[in-house]
């Protein structure tokens, strides 16, 4: 598909979940054999584990803010799991190369892909995303006709992300009625992302607004998301920094992106 097609709408794609065992790696990180959608039942145990290691974390049962929505006990264990995190990153790169890059038009041969994916753990009765009214004031919620009970409204351009990025979300559990995405640029209409292991979602998060709602189910939602730029749309001048990882929006070991060549 042409970049212009991907940046004006959203799409779902299927993949073979058994070929990309993300779930089993996360289970090892969390030292559990339980399904990921039951992770909330392990909060106390995991918090005690981190306290014993003197690792700070935020309580996932509390209301999230922009500064804490990536610092729960789950996130701390995920990002600090050593060789397991390295193995997860290699599997993620394999997934992007084999499942995501072939979506783009064959004329695109090289891509800047997000170095490491962002992971989301949304336990029951929380929003996972936090509001940041310094960047997205309350008036924007009104202007964008966002319903009550929504959190973390934004598009990625507000956080200085390059405009060439295309967003992807891989749900590792059932996912429904927690993340909502604008149906197009400035439509002010939103639909929930409904996905599951074996399906992933693509949208243009740079200009399409998106937000979370409280998880009203009794299951934890786990997903990874990341961004890809075909090199025809990559601009080195757009070199701000990610507000969550503090990495510059550049290609390289210490940058937000790594360079990847398509193989099919």
Residue 65 confidence (pLDDT): 64
Using CA atoms, how far residue 260 sits from 16, 28, 184, 251, in Å, is 21, 28, 28, 10
- For 131, how many CA atoms within 13 A lie in the half-sphere containing its CB? 14
Q: Which domain holds residue 85?
A: 3-261
Say how many domains are in the chain. 1
- Residue tagged 């790169």 (tokens): 93
Q: Which residues pair with 175 in a beta bridge?
A: 195
Could you report the per-residue pLDDT of 164-218, keeping only the tens digit for each? 999 999 999 999 899 999 999 999 999 999 999 999 999 999 999 999 999 999 9
Out of 70-79, 88-97, 141-150, 250-259, give the one with best mean pLDDT: 88-97
Report H helices in the chain: 3-6, 22-29, 43-52, 73-79, 83-95, 138-143
Report the CATH number that the domain containing residue 45 is assigned in CATH: 2.60.120
Task: Supply the mean pLDDT for the chain.
Answer: 92
Looking at residues 86-93, what average pLDDT do you find? 98
């Amino acid at each position: 598909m042409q970049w212009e097609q991907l940046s004006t709408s959203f799409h779902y794609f299927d993949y073979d979940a058994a070929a990309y065992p993300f779930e089993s790696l996360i289970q090892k990180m969390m030292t559990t054999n339980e399904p990921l959608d039951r992770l909330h039942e392990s909060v106390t145990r995991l918090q005690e584990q981190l306290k014993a290691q003197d690792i700070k974390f935020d309580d996932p049962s509390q209301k999230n803010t922009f500064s804490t929505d990536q610092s729960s006990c789950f996130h701390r264990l995920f990002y600090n799991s050593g060789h397991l995190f390295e193995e997860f990153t290699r599997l993620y790169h394999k997934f992007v190369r084999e499942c995501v890059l072939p979506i783009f038009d064959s004329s695109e041969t090289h891509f800047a892909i997000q170095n490491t994916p962002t992971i989301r753990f949304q336990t029951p009765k929380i929003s996972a995303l936090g509001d940041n009214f310094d960047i997205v004031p309350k008036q924007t919620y009104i202007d964008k006709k966002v319903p009550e009970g929504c959190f973390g409204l934004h598009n990625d351009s507000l956080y200085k992300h390059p405009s060439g990025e295309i967003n992807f979300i891989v749900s590792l559990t059932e996912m429904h009625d927690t993340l909502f995405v604008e149906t197009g640029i400035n439509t002010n209409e939103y639909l929930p992302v409904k996905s599951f292991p074996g399906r992933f979602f693509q949208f243009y998060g740079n200009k399409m607004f998106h937000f979370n709602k409280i998880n009203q189910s009794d299951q934890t939602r786990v997903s990874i998301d990341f961004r890809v730029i075909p090199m025809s749309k990559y601009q080195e001048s757009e070199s701000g920094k990610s507000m969550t990882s503090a990495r510059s929006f550049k290609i390289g070991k210490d940058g937000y992106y790594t360079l990847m060549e398509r193989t099919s």
